[in-house]
């Protein structure tokens, strides 16, 4: 198949003339819309069966995952930061942002809060980030799913992610070679294939966690209520950009996946483009179609299970990340003009984009993981005219 050029995660990049303010700009994320308060915990996983794909001298593959879930109570449990202080510094340095200009968001999830158990467990959604991204890049979507009763597991694909902090304080940075016209397809394919193994290992570990095993490499205390809390017969997978490619590839090769969503990602590998007999949703930016991206057409022809394509009017690739909300808040502090913001994020308002994406992502997983038929998916809605249905 013919592939489009890879699109990596979109950074927050300061303009050269940005002024450093004496009072940092506080960035915020929108509150979740569900009835549940949200808890979160980060876990360090180690797969001794394979070396790191980008740093082969590391004989075991390390991952960081973060679980987001409905909390039984949040009293006495602090809210989690969007980025830890160490990852925030690394993020700023990699994007050329002066320190102290921005105060990064605090999430609405509470660290270590006990899980609100439900008989039979709660459906699970796994999230894979964009190339050079991080597990927190779509926190606004992830927290909302958790507030509606899902357990969401976000993966940091170490050395493919921009910056990851491990429990011992190490900062692991992106270690991929620079993408060029000559190597981009090979490198992106390698990255997606490694991510598929990451995701399948995470699924194995979630099964062990559900049986009562502490899967954290440091054996740190787990929130109360995790044992038996996951309904592993109803697993969704979702990703942005190359994470969407990963979602499709995992769905193809692993029958444990019930349904998947690709947020604006090209189908780089044969497994991703091969489709499956399970439901799969494509949500693309305004110009991401089966006419403009041949890999979408290939997937569409191969997909045997239920399939749906939606496009978000006025959007760009970055609209699907938290940056759709954060960049407009940060723009004046980092020297971006309204025209530059619109060029990067499109013409749709960031908060509106998050509202619309939350609604459709929830509706899709509700239909296929909870068997709740949602008429929102039947066709265009006057309430959400930004969503275009493609037959």
Can you list the domains of the chain with their CATH numbers?
Answer: 35-390 (3.40.50.1820)
The half-sphere exposure of 66 on its side-chain side, counting CA atoms within 13 A, is 32
| 3-state class (DSSP) for residue 355 | helix
Position 16 scores a pLDDT of 43
**Which tokens hold the place of 144?**
């909302």
> What does the DSSP assignment read for 191-220?
HHHHHHHHHHHHHHHHHHHHTT----TT-P
Q: What is the DSSP letter of 315?
A: B
Residues 380 and 389: their CA atoms lie apart, in Å, by 6
Residues 142 and 126: their CA atoms lie apart, in Å, by 10
Position 94 scores a pLDDT of 86
Position 22 scores a pLDDT of 61
Cα–Cα distances in Å, from 224 out to 15, 31, 78, 191, 208?
45, 24, 16, 35, 16
Q: Which is nearest to 131 in space by CA: 151, 160, 165, 173?
A: 160
Per the listing, tokens 């025209």 go with 339
Residues 47 and 118: their CA atoms lie apart, in Å, by 30
Q: Which is nearest to 299 in space by CA: 314, 288, 312?
A: 288
| 3-state class (DSSP) for residue 387 | strand
Spell out a b/e string for 314-330, using b for 16 or more CB atoms within 10 Å of the CB, else e: bbbbbbbbbbbbbbbbb
Rg (CA), the chain: 20
Residues 375 and 362: their CA atoms lie apart, in Å, by 12
Alpha helices in 254-349 (DSSP H): 270-273, 294-302, 323-334, 338-345
**Which tokens hold the place of 323?**
């940056």
User: pTM for this structure?
Assistant: 0.94
Position 136 scores a pLDDT of 97
User: Which segments within the chain are labelled E, that is strand?
Assistant: 25-26, 38-47, 61-70, 79-81, 102-103, 106-111, 122-128, 151-156, 163-165, 171-173, 230-240, 259-263, 280-284, 307-312, 387-390
Position 357 scores a pLDDT of 98
What is the mean pLDDT, run by run of 10 residues, along the chain of 391 residues? 40 48 87 98 98 97 98 98 94 88 97 96 98 97 98 98 96 94 92 98 98 98 97 98 98 98 97 98 96 97 98 97 97 93 95 98 98 94 97 88
Position 18 scores a pLDDT of 44
């Amino acid at each position: 198949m013919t592939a489009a050029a890879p699109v990596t995660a979109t950074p927050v990049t300061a303009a050269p003339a940005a002024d450093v303010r004496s009072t940092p700009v506080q960035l915020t994320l929108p509150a979740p819309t569900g009835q549940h308060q949200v808890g979160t915990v980060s876990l360090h996983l180690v797969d001794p069966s394979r070396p790191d794909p980008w740093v082969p001298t590391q004989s075991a593959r390390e991952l960081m995952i973060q679980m987001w879930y409905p909390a039984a109570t949040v009293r006495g449990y602090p809210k989690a930061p969007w980025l830890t202080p160490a990852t925030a510094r690394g993020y700023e340095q990699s994007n050329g942002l002066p320190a102290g200009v921005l105060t990064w968001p605090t999430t609405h999830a509470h660290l270590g809060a006990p899980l609100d158990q439900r008989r039979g467990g709660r459906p699970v959604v796994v999230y894979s980030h964009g190339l050079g991204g991080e597990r927190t890049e779509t926190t606004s979507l992830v927290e909302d799913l958790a507030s509606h009763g899902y357990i969401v597991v976000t993966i940091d694909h170490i050395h493919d992610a921009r910056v990851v902090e491990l429990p011992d304080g190490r900062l692991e940075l992106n270690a991929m070679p620079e993408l060029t016209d000559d190597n981009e397809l090979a490198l992106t394919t390698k990255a997606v294939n490694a991510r598929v193994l990451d995701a399948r290992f995470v699924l194995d570990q979630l099964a062990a966690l559900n049986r009562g095993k502490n899967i954290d490499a440091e054996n740190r205390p787990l929130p109360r209520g995790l044992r038996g809390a996951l309904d592993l017969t109803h697993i969704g997978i979702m990703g942005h950009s190359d994470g969407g490619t990963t979602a499709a590839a995992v769905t193809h090769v692993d029958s444990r996946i019930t349904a998947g969503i690709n947020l604006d990602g090209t189908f780089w590998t044969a497994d991703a483009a091969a489709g499956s007999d399970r439901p799969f949703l494509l949500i693309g930016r305004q110009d991401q179609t089966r006419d403009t991206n041949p890999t979408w057409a290939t997937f569409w022809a191969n997909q045997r299970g239920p399939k749906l394509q939606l496009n978000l009017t006025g959007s760009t690739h970055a609209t699907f990340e938290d940056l759709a909300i954060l960049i407009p808040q940060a723009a004046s502090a980092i020297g971006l003009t309204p025209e530059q913001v619109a060029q990067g994020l499109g013409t749709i308002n960031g908060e509106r984009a998050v509202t619309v994406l939350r609604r459709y992502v929830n509706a899709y997983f509700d239909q296929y993981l909870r068997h709740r038929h949602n008429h929102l998916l039947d066709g265009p809605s006057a309430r959400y005219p930004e969503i275009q249905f493609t037959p």
